[in-house]
Structure formats: C-alpha cells, structure tokens
Amino acid sequence: MEEHRNWKDAQDSLKNKLIAEDNFSWKIPMSRPRRSLSMEEGVGGFLEYVGGVDISFSKKDSSVACGILVVLDLHSLKVVYEDFSVVTLDVPYVPGFLAFREAPVLLDLLEKMKYCANPLYPQLLMIDGNGVLHPRGFGLGCHLGVLANIPTIGVGKNLHHVDGLTLSGVKELLKERENNGGDFFTLTGDSGRTWGVALRSTGDLLKPIFISIGHRISLDTAIKIVKMTSKYRVPEPIRQADIRSRDYLRKHQL
C-alpha cells in the first residue's frame, strides 16, 4: 500500500500542473484543412497532425501489452505514422491509477518520435481513456498530457460513476436532448462541476462516448476536434490505434 500512497502523491503533484484551457499556437480549421493552409498561416498554422494512443493486451498473457502511437493527417484522416512497443508489464492495475501502468509505455513512443525530430509529431493527442472525468479528476489523458507537455483529449468508452453521474441517467438525458436535435450532453455532477460530455458521434443513443479535457485544451475545443475526426462511434485516431495494436499482437502471435 506504500506504493499506492506514493502514486497518490505523484498524481496530486502532476494535477497541480494541469492546464484546463486552450494553450497552443495552432488554429482549428472550419473544416478539415488542405495541407497548404499551414504554410499560408505562418508560425503556428492550422491543426494538421492528430495523434492517437492505445494499449492492447495479449489474450494468452495479460502482462504482455502492445502500445501504439499513430498520427493521422486531419485532412484525409489517413494514418501517416505508426510505431509499436511490445512490453511485459509488472505494474498491477489499480482502479484510479491506470496511468502508472500504461503512461510510461505511451510516453516512450512519443519521446522516441520527438528525439528523431519527426516532422509528423502530433500537435494534439487523443487518449483511449479518460481525462478529468475520473474518480480523482486526473485520468490517463491528463497524466500523459502533463508528462509529454502536449494538448490531450480523453475519450472514454465507459462512464466513471463520479459525482452522482450514472450511465442510465446520462442515457435518459441524451434521449431528451435527441428530441431537441442535440448530439451531446454536458456531464454535470451533483457538485455542479462539469466533468465532460457524453457524445453520440454516430447518432447511437445506446453507446455514447465520453469526452473530457486532458491537458492544454478546453472542453469546447475538444468537442469540435472529436467531431472533426469521427467517422464512426470512436474518433479515427483512437479507432486506428486500437485496430492496429490488436492486429500487431495477432500477427506476431503474442
């Protein structure tokens, strides 16, 4: 339990560095941009390269994991970069502290790309996991964003039941919102705090995704970018990361 107390202290320390507003030099295009736009705008330019990260686990050995970083061109939503890392994890999964198990793998992939000065390094990263929508208000999306100092968006497929939020309650509110033509619902807890939004990216009422800020981005901006990158239920950077990491494990018989 001493290790868990250390994790709590480390998490609290990182949480103090969290930036919960837009903090980047690029602009968000009104629609997915042509590649030449960033050249026309000079320094900063438009958002062009969006990353996605995920970790898949071997079905034969749950300690064997495949971490992946993909980068998509925002205009085409095609993968322009991918890198994998297969590791054996000896850090246990503890609810509320997932980042201490998964973040080091994903951070290494980002650092490797940065060290090589790759021009496709993502301007923004989407995380298959939650940001502030988390029992301790600091999920994997926040943790990785602060450590890598990159704008991040948490995209959860499941809802953490925090501050009075429940999946059944959210679905009911989404149903009411659907009648008024809305495709998302703000997740406001009993305390009055806004934790994120439930979004029906494909109009599927039964399976919304849960968007929350990770680091250096506002919730409004996060929603815009998730909508721009969604062809199916899950935004394409995360969907491609999930597909490709599972494929890698299968092809290498891990």
Q: Which pLDDT tens digit goes with each residue over 35-65?
A: 544 434 434 599 999 999 999 998 888 889 9
Residue 96 to residue 15: CA distance in whole angstroms? 14
Both tokens of 130, joined, read 């939650």
> CA 205, CA 77: separation in Å to the nearest integer?
25
Average pLDDT of the chain is 88
Q: Which of 84, 48, 62, 90 is nearest to 229 (CA)?
A: 48
Which residue positions in the chain have pLDDT lower than 50?
36-43
pLDDT in tens, 195-227: 999 988 766 556 889 999 999 999 999 999 999
Q: Note the pLDDT of residue 171.
A: 76
Strands 49-57 and 124-128, bridge-based pairing: parallel
Taking the C-alpha atoms of residue 218 and residue 126, their distance in angstroms, rounded to an integer, is 14
Closest CA to 208 of 180, 237, 184, 190: 184
Find the distance separating the first CA and the last CA of the chain, reported in whole Å: 32
Q: What is the CATH code for 2-251?
A: 3.30.2170.10
pTM for this structure?
Answer: 0.91
DSSP letter assigned to residue 233: S
